[in-house]
């Protein structure tokens, strides 16, 4: 069973995109989230520890993230929590562990922003282009207007 979570935070750097082995691209960014709580002992609000999380975005989501988000933007991420182990080349190949989010959706936090939505341009495959051309029809005559007659 997969664990899904929702996380709100700020991008700590601009997103980056790179190709992977199968020719697809992955877009990644780091997210920092912290909270505030009231400390009764000092009678003040204090910041909680920051949580840093790497977020991976695939296919169209990754392309949209690259076009839309920048360092400092506050976003809400929903996705699958993943655990991975890797060898760290910066520390003599030491084995490291990390949690990451494999995002299914990413969006701006509308408590902080006003945004205009725009759909990305969709690239058709050659099969879809042929189907679209075959389905093209002559526009119908608007209602209430007589059809032109040949003279």
CA 77, CA 31: separation in Å to the nearest integer? 9
Residue 146 lies in a domain: no
Residue 148 scores a pLDDT above 90: no
Residue 25 lies in a domain: yes
Residue 100 lies in a domain: yes
Contact, 57 vs 63, CB < 8 A? Answer: no
Residue 65 lies in a domain: yes
Note the pLDDT tens digit of each residue in 72-117.
999 999 999 999 888 888 888 788 889 999 999 999 999 999 988 8
Lowest model confidence (mean pLDDT) among 33-47, 52-66, 98-112, 125-139 = 125-139
DSSP helix/strand/coil, 124: coil
Residue 48 scores a pLDDT above 70: yes
Tokens of 54: 């790497």
Residue 149 lies in a domain: no
What burial class does residue 147 get, using C-beta atoms within 10 Å of its C-beta: 0-12 exposed, 13-18 middle, 19+ buried?
exposed
- Supply φ then ψ for residue 129, to 5 degrees: -65, -45
What burial class does residue 57 get, using C-beta atoms within 10 Å of its C-beta: 0-12 exposed, 13-18 middle, 19+ buried?
buried
Q: What is the CATH number of the domain that holds 112?
A: 2.40.50.140
Q: Report CA 123 to chain centroid distance, whole Å.
A: 19
Domains identified in the chain, total number: 1
Q: What percent of the chain has pLDDT over 90?
A: 57
For 11-25, what is the mean pLDDT? 93
Residue 68 scores a pLDDT above 60: yes
Q: What is the DSSP letter of 91?
A: G
Residue 18 scores a pLDDT above 80: yes
Domain that residue 15 falls in? 4-132
For 121-142, what is the mean pLDDT? 64
- What global pTM score does this model have? 0.72
Residue 48 lies in a domain: yes
């Amino acid at each position: 069973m997969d664990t899904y979570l929702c996380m709100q935070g700020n991008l700590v750097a601009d997103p980056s995109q790179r190709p992977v082995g199968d020719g697809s691209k992955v877009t990644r960014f780091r997210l920092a989230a912290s909270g505030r709580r009231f400390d009764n002992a000092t009678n003040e609000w204090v910041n909680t520890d920051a949580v840093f999380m790497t977020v991976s975005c695939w296919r169209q989501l990754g392309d949209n993230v690259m076009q839309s988000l920048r360092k400092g933007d506050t976003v809400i991420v929903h996705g699958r929590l993943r655990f991975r182990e890797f060898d760290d080349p910066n520390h003599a190949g030491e084995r490291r562990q990390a949690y990451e989010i494999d995002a299914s959706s990413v969006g701006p936090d509308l408590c902080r922003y006003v945004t205009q939505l725009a759909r990305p341009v969709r690239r058709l495959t050659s099969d879809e282009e042929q189907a679209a051309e075959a389905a093209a029809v002559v526009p119908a005559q608007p209602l209430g207007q007589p059809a032109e007659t040949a003279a």
